[in-house]
């Protein structure tokens, strides 16, 4: 058990120092067929219904793949029924040989167990749009028994003595151990940890930026026998009873069912620089106060000079050819961004930004609108922020090259206008971009 706890601790430690943003806590509960799976040579076995409750943590290395660990609790049960006769050689108090026969008549026993689960595995998630996705989870787990017991619920056990030498079968002689037992024995079962493989597949529904709903199915297949078996009969020669599960060849823990749960997004928010432009506070220049002083001699009046005003020039409007030429330059700028980031992947378009800035400065009446685009991972509300941060990057580049802020407008399109369908990671990478529109 210490080994598995160490693995979980390492995974959680890695997640706690991670600089990326793909971290989740999840809780789910479910139920289905939870069986103590075994067979009886001289009887029948039916599986039972059980439940499970789980808590866990997952850390994703990229948008799709991650590792997960946690702990949980699950219950399992089975019901066995015996209808057969067993015999063993014996000697009575007079020294005569006989066969001690034991008849099981509809002898029914239930076994129950509760296990502490420690799973470690790999997760794969894929979002088809901003709201719906799939989640797959597979790996190995150890299930440690914390309580296991049996209880007989119906039936009888009858013991007789058959003397072959006289062809006589003696019954109803309690003084010689030939009697009918109708008590309902119960007790504990000694079990060992179960080592199993598990798999889950389910549907994700985004409820908010921080919360996802999960509904899915699960299966667990035990690899080892969890009970020391090998007894030939449940009723021992010493006239004591032990659980019939000990007469099986092997006992494995096998479960499958459905789950429902919640996943909490523990992602660290990306620090997108939001440029805050403060309107300059107008400075009102106060006219100096002139102190009136009485003069003995009035000053000579200033000569009046007639100033002719120049006519106001008409505003210059950019021609369609100029706008088209500028748009061509803007279309050559293909700035891409990593997932959840406003830091460009490529800087080879600086010369294009310079050419674009020269055209805008030469034509101050011309405007440019910068759109920020994202892929479809995460919610639309969050992607609006990411897209705006990318548009601000383009704006900052143009302003550094001398383009007035009044000529630049920014907006975010989030994942509303993808360049290509968001069906795989290659396409999503193409959609994380900016678009420059000259107007």
Q: What is the pLDDT of residues 171-205, one digit of tens each?
A: 988 888 888 888 889 999 999 999 999 999 999 99
Domain containing 433 equals: 320-438
Burial 214-247 (b: 16+ CB within 10 A, else e): bebebbbebeebbbeeeeebbbeeeeebbbbbbb
CATH code: domain of residue 413 = 3.30.1330.60
> Per the domain annotation, does 303 fall within a domain?
no
Q: What is the pLDDT of residues 248-273, one digit of tens each?
A: 889 999 999 999 999 998 865 444 33
Task: Tell me the whole-structure pTM to 2 decimals.
Answer: 0.59
For residues 156 and 405, the answer to whether their CB atoms sit within 8 Å is no
Question: Rounded to an integer, what distance in angstroms lies between the CA atom of residue 320 and that of residue 412?
Answer: 26
> Per the domain annotation, does 272 fall within a domain?
no
> Per the domain annotation, does 170 fall within a domain?
no
Measured on CA atoms in the order 52, 56, 61, 62, is the torsion positive or negative? positive
Q: What local confidence, expressed as pLDDT, does residue 320 receive?
A: 87
Percent composition of the chain: helix, strand, coil (DSSP 3-state, to 5): 20, 45, 40
CATH code: domain of residue 261 = 2.40.160.20
Average pLDDT, the chain: 84
Residue 18 has pLDDT above 80, yes or no: no
Q: What is the pLDDT of residues 138-149, one digit of tens each?
A: 999 999 999 999
3-class SS of residue 6: helix
136 lies in the same domain as 22: yes
CA–chain centroid gap for 384, Å, is 23
Number of structural domains the chain divides into: 2
Q: How far is CA 415 from CA 269, 392, 430, in A?
A: 18, 17, 12
């Amino acid at each position: 058990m210490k080994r598995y706890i160490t693995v979980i601790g390492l995974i959680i430690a890695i997640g706690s120092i991670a600089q990326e943003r793909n971290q989740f806590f999840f809780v789910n509960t479910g139920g289905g067929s939870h069986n103590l799976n075994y067979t009886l040579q001289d009887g029948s076995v039916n599986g039972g219904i059980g439940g499970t409750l789980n808590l866990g943590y997952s850390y994703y290395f990229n948008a799709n793949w991650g590792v997960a660990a946690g702990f949980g609790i699950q219950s399992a049960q089975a019901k066995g029924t015996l209808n057969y006769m067993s015999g063993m050689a014996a000697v009575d108090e007079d020294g005569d040989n006989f066969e001690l026969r034991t008849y099981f008549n509809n002898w029914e026993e239930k076994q129950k167990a509760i296990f502490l689960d420690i799973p470690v595995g790999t997760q794969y998630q894929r979002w088809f749009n901003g709201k719906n996705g799939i989640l797959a989870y597979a790996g190995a787990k150890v299930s440690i028994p914390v309580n296991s017991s049996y209880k007989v619920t119906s039936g009888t056990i009858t013991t007789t003595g058959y003397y072959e030498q006289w062809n006589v079968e003696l019954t109803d002689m309690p003084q010689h151990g030939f009697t009918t037992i109708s008590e309902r024995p119960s007790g504990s079962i000694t079990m060992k940890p179960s080592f199993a493989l598990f798999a889950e597949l389910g549907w994700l529904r985004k409820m908010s930026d921080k919360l996802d709903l999960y509904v899915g199915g699960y299966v667990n297949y035990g690899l080892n026998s969890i009970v020391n078996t090998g007894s030939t009969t449940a009723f021992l020669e010493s006239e004591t009873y032990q659980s019939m599960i000990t007469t099986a060849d092997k006992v494995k823990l096998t479960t499958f069912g459905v789950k429902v749960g919640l996943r909490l997004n523990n992602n660290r928010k990306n620090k997108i620089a939001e440029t805050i432009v403060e309107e300059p506070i107008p400075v009102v220049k106060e006219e100096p106060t002139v102190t009136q002083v009485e003069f003995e001699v009035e000053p000579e009046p200033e000569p009046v000079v007639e100033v002719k005003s120049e006519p106001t020039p008409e505003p210059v409007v950019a021609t369609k050819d100029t706008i088209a030429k500028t748009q061509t330059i803007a279309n050559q700028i293909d700035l891409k961004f990593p997932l959840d980031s406003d830091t460009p992947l490529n800087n080879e378009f600086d010369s294009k930004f310079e050419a674009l800035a020269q055209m805008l400065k030469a034509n101050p009446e011309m405007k440019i609108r910068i759109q920020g685009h994202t892929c479809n991972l995460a919610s639309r509300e969050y992607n609006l922020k990411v897209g705006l941060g990318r548009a601000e990057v383009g704006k900052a580049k143009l302003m550094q090259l001398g383009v007035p802020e009044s000529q630049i407008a920014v907006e975010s399109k989030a994942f509303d206008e993808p360049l290509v369908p968001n069906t795989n990671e290659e396409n999503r990478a193409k959609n994380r971009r900016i678009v420059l529109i000259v107007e």
